[in-house]
Amino acid sequence: MTMLLLVAMLLSPVVAGAESSDDFFDSRTLHDVRLYIHSEDLRQLRERYLEDIYYPADFEWRGIRMRNVGVRVRGLATRSATKPGLRIDFNRYVGQQTFLGMASLVLDNALKDPSMIRERTSMAFIKRMGQPAPRESFGRVYINGAYEGLYALVEAVDSTFLARELGDGLGYLFEHKFVDGFYAGDLGDDLGPYKLRFDAETHRLEGDYTLYSPIRELFREANREVDAVWRERVGWFIDLDQLVTHVAIETFLAEFDGFLGGSGMANFYLYRPVAGNVHRLIAWDRDTTFQEIDAEIFARVEDNALFRRALMFPELRMLYLDVLEQCARAAAQDRWLEVELLQMHQLVREAVREDTGRLYSDEDYEAAIRHLLSFAQRRPAFVIDQVAKAR
């Protein structure tokens, strides 16, 4: 017996060491994630959930225990004391500490989504369309042994993510922060308004001019009169083809809170390589997708100063329509989107029912799932029809 225990102990680190981040983001598995937070810190975290205060914690998954990680509440509209969305920084208190190669991780509380599967399914679809998107899976999160609820486990967009997805993690990464209704207008010469809206995630110690002047130039150029050189000049600061592709995917998914958000631009990262000034978009936070099945493909385009002008160019408009059609066909092919939604529903159903921190009832959940399945069945045909009319 002692011998068996010894062998088990010797093997356990080997098993733990064999796990990879792909295993953690295996979305066919419902994971169990455990956090240990001192009772007083947890009380503070819930009481001061509107503040970005880090608390020390231990993080555990499949027997791998990461000690002294930093945990803080995250989110904007989804901030909650009952079921807080959390950001985990593994290297907050231990320099260079990573979990399966990751420096950070997001535990998304999916509070605004009664189905709780929009976020993960959307990101999977974006990846299917060849665009970079964070890997995601689902996890039952326990804090100090008590079930906190079902969370989306979301890979952080950081240097590690960029290196894997783009082959370059050394550049300038900015998270767009929602301040007010910003529709890609020219905010003037001062870099301050841009700094307010674009939070530098890398190169933080560099000066504002280095960080923000290319962003200022992007929006300055985007707001000039459309002429023969507009596309070339704006193209110095943003990859217009990638922008159009990004927005087309959002449009297919009927995203209400994305680049063409109803309240202004929202939920994206801007990335700019060290060499050059050309930015690109990276999708973030997709829990308000799958809205109206018959959402117009040009909805809110006119509101956005940059995108409105971009679509005045026939090649970019054609690209937009092409990507929309590709999205529709990719979603419908072998009922990919419907099957994906069904699988996720089967995976999380019980965990959702046990989740007492969610804002919605079981009936809301079932209704949301029915809507999603209907969306998957009907949206592709609607979009293909709209594209055909627009051509």
Minimum CB separation of residue 46 from another protein in Å reads: 16
Minimum CB separation of residue 90 from another protein in Å reads: 11
**Contacts with another protein, 94-113, as mask; x by CB under 8 A:** x--x----------------
Minimum CB separation of residue 43 from another protein in Å reads: 12
Stretch that binds another protein, among 64-72, 150-158, 237-245, 380-388 (CB under 8 A): 64-72
Our CB check for another protein shows the closer of 2 and 39 to be 39
Minimum CB separation of residue 56 from another protein in Å reads: 4
Q: Is 139 in the site for another protein (CB under 8 A)?
A: no
> Contacting another protein (CB under 8 A), which of 19, 46, 64, 68?
68
Q: Is 377 in the site for another protein (CB under 8 A)?
A: no
> Contacting another protein (CB under 8 A), which of 67, 203, 220, 233?
67
Q: Is 313 in the site for another protein (CB under 8 A)?
A: no
> Contacting another protein (CB under 8 A), which of 38, 48, 62, 329?
38
# of chain residues touching another protein (CB under 8 A): 16
> Contacting another protein (CB under 8 A), which of 24, 25, 36, 151?
36
> Contacting another protein (CB under 8 A), which of 70, 85, 258, 264?
70
Minimum CB separation of residue 2 from another protein in Å reads: 24
Measured in whole angstroms, how far is the alpha carbon of residue 329 from the centre of its chain?
23
> Contacting another protein (CB under 8 A), which of 19, 46, 56, 303?
56
12-37 as b/e, with b when 16 or more CB fall inside 10 Å? Answer: eeeeeeeeebeebbebeebbebbbbb
Stretch that binds another protein, among 33-41, 77-85, 127-135, 225-233 (CB under 8 A): 33-41
Q: Which two tokens stand for residue 120?
A: 């993960």
Q: Which two tokens stand for residue 163?
A: 């290196």
Our CB check for another protein shows the closer of 206 and 354 to be 206
> Contacting another protein (CB under 8 A), which of 79, 93, 159, 213?
93
Is-contact 326 332, C-beta < 8 A? no
Identify the burial level of 47 via C-beta atoms within 10 angstroms of its C-beta, where 0-12 means exposed, 13-18 middle and 19 or more buried: exposed
Q: Is 367 in the site for another protein (CB under 8 A)?
A: no
Our CB check for another protein shows the closer of 99 and 365 to be 99
Q: Is 58 in the site for another protein (CB under 8 A)?
A: yes
Minimum CB separation of residue 42 from another protein in Å reads: 9
Q: Is 164 in the site for another protein (CB under 8 A)?
A: no
Binding site for another protein (CB under 8 A): 36-39, 41, 56-58, 67-68, 70, 92-94, 97, 144
